[in-house]
Amino acid sequence: MNHKKLGAKRITFISSFVPRQCGIATFAADLIAHTAKASSGELVAEVIAMEAADHLSYGDEVKYTIRRDQKKDYLAAADYINYSGDNLVSLQHEYGLFGGEAGSYICELIERIAVPVVTTLHTLLEKPEASYRDTLIRIADASTKLVVMSRRGVSMLREIYGVSADKIEMIPHGIPDLPFEDPEPYKKSLGFADRKIFLTFGLLGRNKGIEWGIRALPEIVKRDPSILYLVLGATHPDVKRYDGEEYRLSLQRLVRDLGVERHVVFINRFVTDDELYRFLNASDYYLTPYLHKEQLISGTLAFAMGMGKAVISTPYWHAEELLADGRGCLVPFQDHKAIAAAIVGLLDDPAAYNAMRRRAFEFGRSMTWTRIGEAYWRLSRRLESPATPAVALDLEAAPTKRVTVKELPELRLDHFLRMSDDIGILQHARHTIPDRSRGYCTDDNARALEVMVRCHHQHQDRESLRLMEIYFAFLLHARKSDGSFHNFMSYERRFIAPVQSDDATARAIGALGTLIAYSPRPSLADLAREVLLHAIAAENNFSMRGRAYEIFGLADYIRGFPDDVHVRREMGKAADYLMQGYRQYATADWPWFEDRLSYDNAVLPSALFVASQTLQNKTYRETAIDACRFLIKVTFTDSHFSFVGCHGWYPKGGEKAHFDQQPIEAASTMRLLREAFASTGDPSFIKLMSKAFSWFLGDNDIGAALFDFRSRGCHDGLTPDGVNLNQGAESLISYMLTYLSIEEEQSAVPVVEAANV
């Protein structure tokens, strides 16, 4: 079950993540673990992981993944965050992690989300190309705080990128809180007893400059033949993908050429933290012979220094800062003689060696992960926002607008495309996989046609037009000679029992009316009109809900053909049928059309609102208002939408069933609220639209989202134990009809004008 933890502080971390083999993935895992510890159980951490080229198997904390070069993944992740109830987002930024020019796709994500963003910068460029500078400035603008791990980072942000000082936090790179150790026992456990060890560790690539450490060996070995250089770490996955092991092989050739095979050991694997600590504890010296000064952060350097190692390093930015005041030894870039001289000097001066180790270790106490977790937790507490849905209808602040939605999930047709073939949309799915054994039905294809007509009317996109034509073709194929419609079709394209469904015909009439009203081409509207008129001429025995859908289709038809007396008469018959049910069952405490509230309830008063507007009938309108307010009373709480479940329904005089709740009810309620507002001008109906839509996003009885941000589908129902994991056509269509209603209201006329019409 996906209940929301009361009082929790929810933070989503966007980063590469373990088991991916990279320093930022490890950093993010450590950051989460120690921030959670500092929170004393208050933190609920979720991860959105940047996918590597190979799909990885993540732990439960990873709730979402982003493919580096798929822009739509970033937008979908933003939608996920907006509706997850987060208080804060923590972004780990390194240009190469993200797609787009200069890693700009991540900007699309953080510019779209509604909660504060804390961005930890793992790289800053001193002389950035224009595109890289623009990306960093966009990140800075979208972030509430930027965290850098060095004082130089603070000055670079201010001087190069123009970031104000109050937006910058300096929090060092975390290091393990380990004791100051004697290396000898660890050497013995690793089989290196009686050796003097200097170590380089991390993912291998040419920028690490390891060849300069190897070139220094002959001179060092002259001074101490016990010297052993350990090169610990696998080749960087990105380097290996493009260049294989070329760099490692070149280092091995250099070792042979210099005749120092007995003094170099390559350990070609990605080690666990415990293994790393053992190797670090066993080493006497730590070497980072990196080639370029423009390295703002080195986690490996911080680890080694914080464990009290004697560090020899080239003077890249982070090393200059960490190793100041005698905490290490700096040597020029690409200078093996200087490396040799530094190590020999420490070999010859044990007092200097021990003093350097002690200074490094003591300075490192301020950088332990315990301290860093506490710092990030304090920062998050200062910045957190209330966990509220991003969708909100802001009528109080803007009373002349019909509806203002802060942010909707991106409209994408991924699951429609997955569920559809060249015949139509399949009825059911097993999780997200179409279930071909259950075939197709006219009900779903008719409603899917309505979705695509409205979607194309809003967006003018190719995908909705293509799907529209497929679903319309299904309806044409499902017609019987008398104008009515078959309903069920097997995957083998055979119509199956029950051969006829009157309500399927009514659904088809409703969708055909939508196509007539909003057709992208006159030829489609003409054909839809022909089919609709043939359908209403057939002998039909529509249910009450079938009559409602017939009314919807006829109303759309009449907008284009207001003088068609026959169709207007047909609508009156359908509306009178609803009124007959209302007169039979309605009482003062039960103003309703049946002796129970069951399935797709809201279409009944909604259809009467439509009929009252079209036929100018006050009785229809008054009945619709009474039934609408009754339904709202029993399906909306102060906080959320909570409608009738299918396991028991709500019999007159009985108890309301709460589960299973099915998405079609949200869609029909959204239509009802729109029609009620159109008829009355009462903005209270508009305000409820937010709750109806937010039911899909977790504002419901158990706090579980039915909309799946990854598949773009919708779960089939809400149960006491969570969501039904299947994502069939009806639930998908219901979500999209609800979404489109919100979207259409955004562009509708203002409240004041509507009320005066």
Residue 730 half-sphere exposure toward CB, CA atoms < 13 A? 18
Which has the closest alpha carbon to 85: 63, 107, 57?
63
Peptide bond between residue 660 and the one before it cis (omega within 30 degrees of 0): yes
Q: What CATH code is assigned to 9-170?
A: 3.40.50.2000
Predicted TM-score (pTM) of this structure? 0.67
Q: What is the pLDDT of residue 273?
A: 77
In the chain, where are the structural domains located?
9-170, 183-367
Q: Which pLDDT band holds residue 386 (cuts at 50, 70, 90)?
A: low
Q: Is 471:416 a contact under the CB 8 Å cutoff?
A: no
DSSP helix/strand/coil, 268: coil
Residue-wise pLDDT tens digits, 501-558: 678 999 999 999 999 999 999 999 999 999 999 999 998 889 999 999 999 999 999 9
Query: Whole-angstrom Cα distance, residue 197 to residue 191?
Result: 12
Query: Whole-angstrom Cα distance, residue 637 to residue 262?
Result: 76
Residue 405 backbone phi and psi in degrees, to 5:
-110, 125
DSSP helix/strand/coil, 169: strand
The strand pairing partners of 723, in sequence order, are 718
Mean pLDDT, the chain, rounded, equals: 91
Structure tokens at 3: 């209940």
- Provide the 8-state DSSP code for 60: T
Q: What is the pLDDT of residue 501?
A: 67
Query: Whole-angstrom Cα distance, residue 429 to residue 436?
Result: 8
Query: Whole-angstrom Cα distance, residue 311 to residue 285?
Result: 6
Beta strand spans in 473-514 (E):
488-489, 495-496
Q: What is the pLDDT of residue 500?
A: 52
Q: Which pLDDT band holds residue 397 (cuts at 50, 70, 90)?
A: very low
Structure tokens at 111: 């510019």
Instruction: Give residues with Cβ within 8 angstroms of 587, minimum separation 6.
Output: none
* 272 or 173, higher pLDDT: 173
Handedness of CA 578, 579, 582, 584 (dihedral sign): negative
Burial call 526-549: b when 16+ CB within 10 Å, e when fewer: ebbbebbbbbbebebebebbbbbb
- Provide the 8-state DSSP code for 103: G
Q: What is the pLDDT of residue 231?
A: 95
Q: Which pLDDT band holds residue 499 (cuts at 50, 70, 90)?
A: low
Q: What is the pLDDT of residue 748?
A: 61
Q: Which pLDDT band holds residue 326 (cuts at 50, 70, 90)?
A: very high
- Provide the 8-state DSSP code for 485: B
Over residues 187-215, the mean pLDDT reads 93
Residue-wise pLDDT tens digits, 261-273: 999 999 988 787 7
Instruction: Give residues with Cβ within 8 angstroms of 620, minimum separation 6.
Output: 575, 579, 608, 609, 611, 612
Structure tokens at 752: 């004041």
Is the pLDDT score of 464 beyond 80?
Answer: yes
Residue 215 backbone phi and psi in degrees, to 5:
-65, -25
Burial of 130 from C-beta contacts in 10 A (0-12 / 13-18 / 19+)? exposed
The strand pairing partners of 43, in sequence order, are 9
Least confident of 241-255, 491-505, 588-602: 491-505
Opening angle at CA 212, ends 193 and 335, nearest 5: 120
Q: What is the pLDDT of residue 407?
A: 59
Q: Same CATH fold, 183-367 and 9-170?
A: yes
Burial of 89 from C-beta contacts in 10 A (0-12 / 13-18 / 19+)? buried
Over residues 684-693, the mean pLDDT reads 90
Q: Is 11:91 a contact under the CB 8 Å cutoff?
A: no
Q: CATH fold of 183-367, please?
A: Rossmann fold (3.40.50)
Residue-wise pLDDT tens digits, 15-46: 999 998 888 999 999 999 999 999 999 999 99
- Provide the 8-state DSSP code for 641: B
Is the pLDDT score of 387 beyond 90?
Answer: no
Residue-wise pLDDT tens digits, 104-160: 999 999 999 989 999 999 999 999 999 999 999 999 999 999 999 999 999 999 999
User: Got the DSSP string for 717-754?
Assistant: -EETTEE-----HHHHHHHHHHHHHHHHHHTSPPHHHH
Is the pLDDT score of 391 beyond 90?
Answer: no
CB atoms within 10 A of CB 157: 21
Q: Which pLDDT band holds residue 6 (cuts at 50, 70, 90)?
A: very low
Over residues 395-421, the mean pLDDT reads 67
Is the pLDDT score of 395 beyond 50?
Answer: no
Over residues 719-728, the mean pLDDT reads 94
Residue-wise pLDDT tens digits, 274-306: 888 899 999 999 999 999 998 888 888 998 999
Query: Whole-angstrom Cα distance, residue 292 to residue 49?
Result: 29
Residue-wise pLDDT tens digits, 738-749: 999 998 887 664
Query: Whole-angstrom Cα distance, residue 76 to residue 113?
Result: 11
Per the document, the length of the chain is: 757
Residue-wise pLDDT tens digits, 203-232: 888 889 999 999 999 999 999 999 999 999
Residue-wise pLDDT tens digits, 66-81: 999 988 889 889 988 8
Query: Whole-angstrom Cα distance, residue 647 to residue 275?
Result: 56
Which has the closest alpha carbon to 733: 486, 442, 501?
442
Distance of CA 263 to the CA centre of its chain: 50
Least confident of 340-354, 422-436, 679-693: 679-693
Residue-wise pLDDT tens digits, 556-611: 999 999 999 999 999 999 999 999 999 999 999 999 999 999 999 999 999 999 99
